[in-house]
Amino acid sequence: MSSQPYSSFAVYQSGPLTVIGFGRNRPDRLDLGICRDELTLLLRTTKCQSLAVDLTNVRFVPSGMLGLLATIPKLGVELMVFNPNPEIREVLEITRLDSIMRIETVPVSGMLVGES
């Protein structure tokens, strides 16, 4: 787990495989500029080779956030999305973002969904 505090997302695991999630934050209420800056810092400080974004219990991802995520592979980092709901999965397919990221369904613990 990273000791670096991030306000936009929670870091569940850091290193070559870094896993982030939104916990109790709603992606549609985040400041994209701050989120971009924090994500850039995270990728630089963790030597991340693969970034997994856990979307468990996330109902909606705004287009700006999708655009931000779409820039990750351009940085040479593999992008994975865990547990998108059917609506988000459909958006990823329609926009063809599923061609630049792996979409996975994975089991989660309480910690991954932002619970104590």
pLDDT by residue (tens digit) across 31-46? 899 999 999 999 989 8
Please give the order of strands across the beta sheet that includes 17-21. 10-13, 17-21, 50-54, 78-82, 102-104
Residue 112: which pLDDT band, with cuts at 50, 70 and 90?
Answer: very low
d(CA 14, CA 32): 21
- Provide the token pair at 33: 């500029």
Structural fold of domain 10-107: Transcription Regulator spoIIAA (3.30.750)
Question: How far is CA 79 from its chain centroid?
Answer: 8
Nearest residue to 54 (alpha-carbon basis) of 33, 85, 32, 30:
85
- Provide the token pair at 108: 């989660």
Its sign, for the CA torsion 82, 50, 79, 99, is: negative
pLDDT > 70 fraction of the chain, expressed in percent and rounded? 90
- Provide the token pair at 89: 């999965």
- For the chain, the domains span 10-107
3-class DSSP state of 7: coil
- Whole-model pTM: value is 0.85
Given a cut of 50, is residue 64 above it in pLDDT? yes
